[in-house]
Amino acid sequence: MSQVLDDSLNLELLQLICSGEGVEINISELSQRLKKHRNTIASRVETLFSKKIIERPFHPFPKIFAEYPLLVFEKANLPRNRKTNKWIETDSHIWAAFFVKDEEYNSLLIELHEDLHAYQEWGDRIINEELISLPSDQESIPSEAIYLSTKAIIKNDPVAAIELLKAQFQNSPDLMINDLAMDQLYLDLIEALILGKGVWTNPNLLSRKLDVHRVTVQRRLDLLLQEKIISNPVSRFPRIWAPPGYFIVLSLIELKKEKDHISKILVDDPHTSLVVKAGAGKYNLLTISCFSRLRDHLTWEEQYDQRFSGSVGAVKNLYLSPSMTFSIHQQYVPLEYLRKRLETPRR
């Protein structure tokens, strides 16, 4: 598998498809699937993109979790200024960033790194290269981090929340998302594109961009999929783990008993999109879940507490509203990894 990423043509192809180039919507397929006119489908799809309800399709790059197997959730107290904002937006290891107010910290960063040493070097470089401006009496960034292994991820499913959106529409037919009135066709299109139905990769376009034969491109695409370096092309919600308007809840959970059983229940729950085995003090599970209303999470949590009385211990939640989202790099970290890999070939 490593040889696949040592090939410059493969890397150039990955840069294109992971950024969405050559990945297209098959309007005809969606038209047939949903039994609507092509023009209607095309107009509706473009509206979903322009309203930022879902993103234009691309190939996800799950290989990034093997290349950067250290997953860090870090609360930090960062200076709030343009320089900090630019650093967050352009840093090649920050997957997502949120504004928070938790103890003395004002930011939450979710990062991917090669290992603990690389993470430490990354932190030193921020200071040494003055990527952010610290107060004169401060030589480091006050922070508190949880270090997890990507191998400990037992659920990573950005698609899960579509079930919540469907249920919300059934209960509230007048549902509005980003000032767009939802109807059944919009919902069907969101579900189809999130699942990758009606999304395809155009080898002809890619062959022209790469100046190679389309058969060569198709063989490379097949190999990348076979080796699980990429997954099938999809659209995603802009905030990855939650539909627009939903709260994201980051939870540290202490499971005292029935660990495997409760973990499986959480994996099967559509509210959770990320579940990771953790070793953070007494907490042994980390989840990212989403809810349309804050009180829905409180009810959901109480139901788990009642269902597994005595098995669930302490729970620490951090609520992240849409307005608290500073930046989520849907594909930026993988694309920066590919850029670096192409610029510095491995021997």
Looking at residue 4, the DSSP 8-state letter turns out to be G
Q: Is residue 163 part of a domain?
A: no
* Per-residue pLDDT tens digits for 300-327: 999 999 999 999 999 999 999 999 999 8
Q: What secondary structure does DSSP assign to 197-208, as a single string?
A: TTEEE-HHHHHH
pLDDT tens-place string over residues 90-131: 999 999 999 998 888 999 999 999 999 999 999 999 989 989
Read off the pTM: 0.93
For residue 333, being part of any structural domain is answered with no
Q: State the pLDDT confidence band at 160, using cuts at 50, 70 and 90.
A: very high
pLDDT band at 346 (very low <50, low <70, confident <90, very high): low
- For residue 319, give both structure tokens: 């609520």
The closest alpha carbon to 99, from 82, 80, 127, 71, belongs to 80
Sheet holding 325-328, edge to edge: 143-149, 70-76, 105-113, 94-102, 325-328
Q: Which long-range contacts (CB under 8 A, 24 or more apart) does 91-94 make?
A: 91/131, 92/332, 92/333, 92/336, 92/337, 92/340, 93/68, 93/122, 93/333, 94/327, 94/329, 94/333
Domain of residue 298 covers 154-158+241-324
- Tell me, what's the pLDDT at 347? 56
> Does residue 332 sit within a domain?
no
Residue 206 belongs to some domain of the structure: no
**Total number of domains constituting the chain:** 1
| Tokens read off for 174 | 């007048």
Is 268 inside a domain boundary?
Answer: yes
CATH of the domain at 266: 3.30.70.920
Assigned domain for 306 exists: yes
With respect to residue 97, please indicate whether it lies within any of the assigned structural domains: no
Residue 328, helix vs strand vs coil? strand
Q: Which of 194, 160, 175 is nearest to 45 (CA)?
A: 194
Rounded CA gap, 157 and 270, in Å?
Answer: 9
Mean of all residue pLDDT scores within the chain: 94
In a domain, 267, yes or no: yes
Q: What is the per-residue pLDDT for 102?
A: 85
